């Protein structure tokens, strides 16, 4: 039968992180002992008090359709959280709760972008940004960075990429995949630049806020002169180990919040009633549960950096947040084990999967073809074994 799919879906790429996870599951189903470090989710379970809030919500019959932008009490809790944690003033009317931060991002793109608009993506960027921009019919403009710059771009780099079609700048801090964290002064430079272009919106993805090994998380919306041009995106998936609950949210100028509400009113309606009550409990609590997980991630980062520094040919930065390391593996390009030639990071990821039985994600998916992403959201024993396998498998290349 002819391909009857839409151009939209034919042009969309499968998420490479999910593809890698799928491939490793297939190998596991064949009986292979694969270690998967490809997925971006905490290995912790959701804290008990959050689960209890969900059970209570079910028993209290929070089982009906919810208001499209989220329950008023949840939006109030988010407004309080923004003030408490980030010193940001967003009223509940400026907040929209969606089915994960990914959905929040899709709402923003579909609400604000027209065909041929340009969206600047400092690379490396999270895999889905490019595809979501494409879904909205717009074009992504990637700005490269390198490990020498700690994978961060400057205001000057962004300025050079701005054209009269530029509509948005999207980035995450802490960053997936590099773990880099923008400092207050770096954000201020970017804010000052974008304030000169009132039609440009900054999408600031802060989903890894709580997995930040610096002293304090910094939001770009803190600078008053830029706040009306910023959409702050966040959620409970990473910081509270709630990936399956599917709750993300934005704080935005009201006209953008209204547009996102209208968009999701036609697509998904309000997100799950039970998950919203669970998220409210998470956001109203003190931050001790996120703190414990952050400490565990920080310890694992030290372990991973230590063990990896022993592998010849890997260049590493010191990620200040999230739970990834993003080594530059370009010194292996052109090498072979006698069977497979490694031409790029994707070849290396496949080689490490097939020969080393460790699943990682090629940097190509993130707009940086010299690197490979390694998630350390798993136990120390598994990390030690995975790095041993990587080291031994890379040693076969010459
Ligand atoms: C940078 C970034 N933004 C957004 C998301 C999506 O989060 P959610 O699970 O809330 O949709 C992820 C998840 O991997 C991410 O890494």
* Per-residue pLDDT tens digits for 199-210: 999 999 999 999
Q: Band of the pLDDT at 19, cuts 50, 70, 90?
A: confident
| Exposed/middle/buried for residue 339 (C-beta within 10 Å: 0-12, 13-18, 19+) | exposed
Per-residue pLDDT band for 23 (boundaries 50, 70, 90) equals confident
pLDDT tens readout for residues 78-134: 999 999 999 999 999 999 999 999 999 999 999 999 999 999 999 999 999 999 999
- Which atom, in ligand 1's list, is nearest to the CA of 103? 11
Ligand 1 pocket member 235 (CB < 6 A) = yes
Rounded to an integer, what is the distance from CA 382 to the centroid of its chain? 23
Does the domain spanning 49-285 belong to CATH 3.40.640.10?
yes
Q: Is 176 in the pocket of ligand 1 (CB under 6 A)?
A: yes
Please indicate whether residue 373, judged by its CB atom, sits closer than 6 Å to ligand 1: no
Torsion on CA atoms 292, 297, 298, 301, rounded to nearest 10: 170
> What is the predicted pLDDT for the residue at 2?
61
From the CA of 101, how far away is ligand 1's center (Å)? 6
Contact predicate 124/151, CB 8 Å: yes
Q: Give, using CA atoms, the residue closest to atom 13 of ligand 1.
A: 40
Going by C-alpha positions, the residue among 170, 233, 234 that lies closest to residue 200 is 170
Q: Is the CB of 129 under 6 A from ligand 1?
A: no
pLDDT of residue 18: 78
Cβ 42 vs Cβ 241: under 8 Å? yes
CA of 207 to the centre of ligand 1 (A): 6
Work out the pLDDT band at 141, boundaries 50, 70, 90. Answer: very high
Residue 24 has pLDDT above 90, yes or no: no
* Residue tagged 């399956």 (tokens): 244
Q: Which of 108, 126, 249, 279, when mutated, tests ligand 1's pocket best, judged by the most ligand atoms within 8 Å of its CB?
A: 126
Q: Classify domain 7-45+289-394 by CATH architecture.
A: Alpha-Beta Complex (3.90)
- Strand, coil or helix: 139: strand
Residue 13 DSSP one-character state: P
CB of 126 shorter than 6 A to ligand 1: yes
Contacts of 295 (CB under 8 A, 6+ apart): none
- Once rounded to an integer, what is the mean pLDDT over residues 13-35? 86
The structure's pTM equals 0.96
Q: Decide whether 7-45+289-394 matches 49-285 in CATH topology.
A: no
- pLDDT-based confidence at 287, cuts 50/70/90? confident
How far is CA 74 from each of CA 98, 154, 209, 298, rounded to the nearest angstrom? Answer: 12, 36, 19, 30
**pLDDT classification of 1: cutoffs 50, 70, 90:** low
The mean of the pLDDT values for the chain is 95
CB 92, CB 76: distance < 8 Å: yes
Say if ligand 1 is within 6 A of residue 237 CB. yes
Where do the structural domains in the chain lie, given as residue ranges? 7-45+289-394, 49-285
8 A C-beta contact, residue 124 and residue 101: no
Instruction: Report the percent of the chain where pLDDT is more than 70.
Output: 99
Condensed to tens digits (0 to 9), the pLDDT of residues 310-330 reads 999 999 999 999 999 999 999
The two tokens of residue 183 are 């400092």
Per-residue pLDDT reduced to its tens digit, 152-181: 999 999 999 999 999 999 999 999 999 999
State the Cα–Cα distance between residues 374 and 386, nearest whole angstrom: 10
């Amino acid at each position: 039968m002819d391909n009857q799919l839409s151009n939209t879906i034919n042009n969309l790429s499968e998420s490479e992180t999910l593809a890698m996870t799928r491939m490793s599951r297939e190998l596991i189903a064949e009986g292979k002992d694969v270690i998967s470090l490809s997925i971006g989710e905490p290995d912790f379970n959701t804290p008990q008090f959050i689960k209890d809030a969900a059970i209570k919500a079910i028993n209290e019959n929070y089982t009906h359709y919810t208001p499209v932008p989220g329950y008023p009490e949840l939006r109030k809790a988010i407004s309080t959280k923004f003030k408490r944690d980030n010193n940001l003033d967003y009223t509940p009317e400026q907040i929209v709760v969606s089915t994960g931060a990914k959905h929040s991002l899709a709402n923003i793109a579909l609400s604000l972008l027209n065909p041929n608009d340009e969206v600047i993506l400092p690379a490396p960027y999270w895999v889905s940004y490019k595809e979501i921009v494409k879904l909205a019919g717009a074009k992504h403009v990637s700005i490269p960075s390198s490990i020498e710059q700690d994978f961060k771009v400057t205001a000057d780099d962004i300025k050079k990429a701005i054209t009269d079609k530029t509509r948005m700048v999207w980035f995450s801090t802490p960053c997936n995949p590099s773990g880099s964290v923008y400092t207050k002064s770096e954000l201020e430079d970017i804010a000052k630049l974008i304030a000169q272009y009132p039609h440009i919106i900054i999408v600031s993805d802060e989903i890894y806020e709580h997995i930040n090994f610096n002293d304090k998380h910094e939001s770009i919306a803190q600078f008053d002169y830029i706040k009306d041009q910023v959409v702050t995106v966040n959620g409970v998936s990473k910081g509270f180990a709630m990936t399956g609950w599917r709750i993300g949210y934005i704080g935005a100028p009201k006209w953008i919040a209204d547009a996102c509400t209208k968009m999701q009113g036609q697509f998904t309606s309000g997100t799950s009633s039970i998950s919203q009550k669970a998220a409210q409990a998470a956001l109203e609590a003190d931050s001790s549960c996120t703190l414990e997980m952050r400490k565990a991630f920080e310890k694992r980062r030290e372990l991973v950096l230590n063990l990896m520094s022993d592998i010849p040919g890997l260049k590493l930065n010191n990620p200040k947040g999230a739970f990834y390391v993003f080594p530059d593996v370009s010194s292996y390009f052109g090498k072979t084990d006698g069977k497979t030639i490694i031409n790029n990071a994707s070849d290396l990821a496949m080689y490490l999967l097939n020969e080393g039985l460790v699943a990682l994600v090629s940097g190509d998916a993130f707009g940086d073809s010299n690197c490979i992403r390694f998630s350390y959201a798993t136990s120390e024993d598994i990390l030690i074994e995975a790095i041993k396998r990587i080291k031994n498998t890379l040693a076969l290349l010459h």
